[in-house]
């Protein structure tokens, strides 16, 4: 989402952001936008996205590679050996995939399935066989942590597994990303976004004749898709907010105030500095935040 789209979304949910009746225009970058009021006050708005850049880079690359590998595997049109019902690949997210390895990767996936299907009854009883030793399949060993094979348990009366996976359905898929993570990674990424901005722009007030300089951190679909979640069993958004506030109390750079905008599901807006406050607008329904 472009910075203009983020600002439009913010003002649609919070028309009185900073002050009622402000006129917004693109800024000289920095800041990204400048707003002027009837009293001729000038507000500079600098934006940054809450992202873990390393996670995002690998996730985008991994997502593109997965789509191409699934197309190359073409399992919905491939014969599925009895009694296999499904194959789930757990790949290494920290190893960029090299396109030149795609043919070997596909060949080894099907070879692994063909090798293990005849041994199904002897090696499992509950319908799941997780294969972590991939030494016989060098390309898979380079890119995968494990491969799970699923099929009927010994007590199942449908050894072919066809009732589980009808023809024409993908039966080789990838394991969803983000099953194991530490919410601290996301909180640390928020702090990194803040410190990258507070170290800059020491003279913007003077050079752009600003009465206030504001930092807006936004979190949206890219963070949701490509980064590990900020929530966990013992962590919530409040944990990240408190950590960010503590950093800003120690050093807020040239910014007079800092906000966090959660650009999804109604758009929660939190002021991180000078005090922590969750802002509500008349346009929002009670309980939305």
pTM of the model as a whole = 0.67
Does 70 map to a domain? no
Most trustworthy range by pLDDT among 95-99, 120-124, 138-142: 138-142
Looking at the structure, do residues 185 and 270 belong to the same domain, yes or no?
Answer: yes
Residues 187 and 48 in one domain: yes
Checking if the pLDDT of 179 tops 60, the result is no
Are 103 and 146 found together in one domain?
yes
Residue 216 in domain? yes
Which of 119, 135, 164 marks a domain boundary? 164
Is the per-residue pLDDT at 193 higher than 90?
yes
Of 159 and 196, the one with more pLDDT: 196
Same domain, 268 and 218: yes
- Has residue 282 got a pLDDT over 60? no
* Res. 288: pLDDT tops 70: no
Residue 101 lies in a domain: yes
Q: Is the pLDDT of residue 74 over 90?
A: yes
- Mean pLDDT is lowest, of 123-127, 206-210, 231-235, 271-275, for 123-127
Whether residues 274 and 185 fall in one domain: yes
pLDDT surpassing 80 at residue 136? yes
> What gap in Å lies between CA 207 and CA 214, rounded to an integer?
15
Residue 189 and residue 271 in one domain: yes
171: in domain: no
Q: Is residue 176 part of a domain?
A: no
In the block, which residue shows the tokens 């901005």? Answer: 197
Q: How confident is the model at residue 177 (pLDDT cuts 50, 70, 90)?
A: low
- Within a domain: 8: yes
Amino acid 162: pLDDT: 44
231 pLDDT more than 90: no
Is 72 inside a domain boundary? no
Distance CA 216, CA 49 (A): 8
Among 94, 129, 164, identify where a domain stops.
Answer: 164
Task: Give which of 198, 189, 209, 191 is closest to 256, Cα–Cα.
Answer: 198
What percent of the chain is modeled with pLDDT above 70? 89
Last residue of a domain, one of 136, 164, 192: 164
Range of the domain at 94: 81-164
Q: How many domains does the chain have?
A: 2
Report strand pairing: 268-273 vs 257-262. Answer: antiparallel
Cβ-based burial of 141 (10 A; exposed 0-12, middle 13-18, buried ≥19): middle
Whether 156 and 129 map to the same domain: the answer is yes
Average predicted confidence (pLDDT) for the chain: 87
pLDDT band at 287 (very low <50, low <70, confident <90, very high): very low
More confident residue, 266 or 112: 112
For tokens 């410190």, what's the residue?
195
In the structure, what pLDDT confidence band is assigned to residue 164 with cuts at 50, 70 and 90? low
Q: What span, in angstroms and rounded, lies between the C-alpha atoms of 119 and 48?
A: 54
Same structural domain for residues 263 and 208?
yes
Domain membership flag for residue 136: yes
């Amino acid at each position: 989402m472009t910075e203009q789209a983020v600002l439009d979304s913010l003002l649609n949910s919070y028309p009185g952001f900073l002050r009622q009746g402000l006129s917004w225009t693109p800024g000289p970058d920095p800041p990204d936008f400048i707003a002027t009021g009837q009293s001729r006050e000038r507000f500079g708005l600098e934006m940054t996205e809450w992202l873990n850049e390393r996670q995002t880079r690998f996730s985008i690359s991994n997502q593109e590679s997965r789509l191409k590998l699934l197309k190359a595997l073409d399992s919905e049109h491939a014969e599925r050996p009895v009694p296999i019902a499904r194959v789930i690949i757990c790949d290494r997210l920290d190893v960029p995939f090299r396109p030149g390895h795609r043919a070997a990767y596909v060949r080894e996936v099907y070879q692994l399935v063909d090798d293990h299907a005849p041994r199904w009854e002897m090696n499992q009883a509950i319908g799941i066989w997780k294969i972590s030793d991939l030494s016989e399949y060098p390309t898979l060993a380079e890119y995968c942590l494990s491969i799970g094979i699923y099929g009927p348990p010994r007590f199942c009366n449908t050894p072919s597994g066809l009732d589980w996976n009808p023809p024409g359905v993908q039966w080789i898929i990838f394991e969803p990303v983000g099953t194991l993570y530490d919410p601290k990674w996301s909180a640390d990424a928020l702090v990194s976004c803040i410190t990258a901005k507070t170290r800059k722009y020491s003279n913007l007030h003077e050079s752009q004749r600003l009465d206030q300089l504001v930092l807006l951190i936004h979190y949206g679909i890219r963070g949701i898709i490509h980064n590990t979640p900020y929530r966990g069993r013992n962590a919530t958004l409040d944990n990240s907010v408190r950590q960010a506030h503590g950093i800003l109390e120690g050093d807020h750079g040239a910014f007079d105030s800092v906000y966090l905008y959660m650009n999804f599901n109604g758009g929660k807006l939190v002021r991180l500095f000078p005090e922590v406050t969750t802002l509500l607008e008349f346009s929002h329904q009670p309980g939305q935040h």
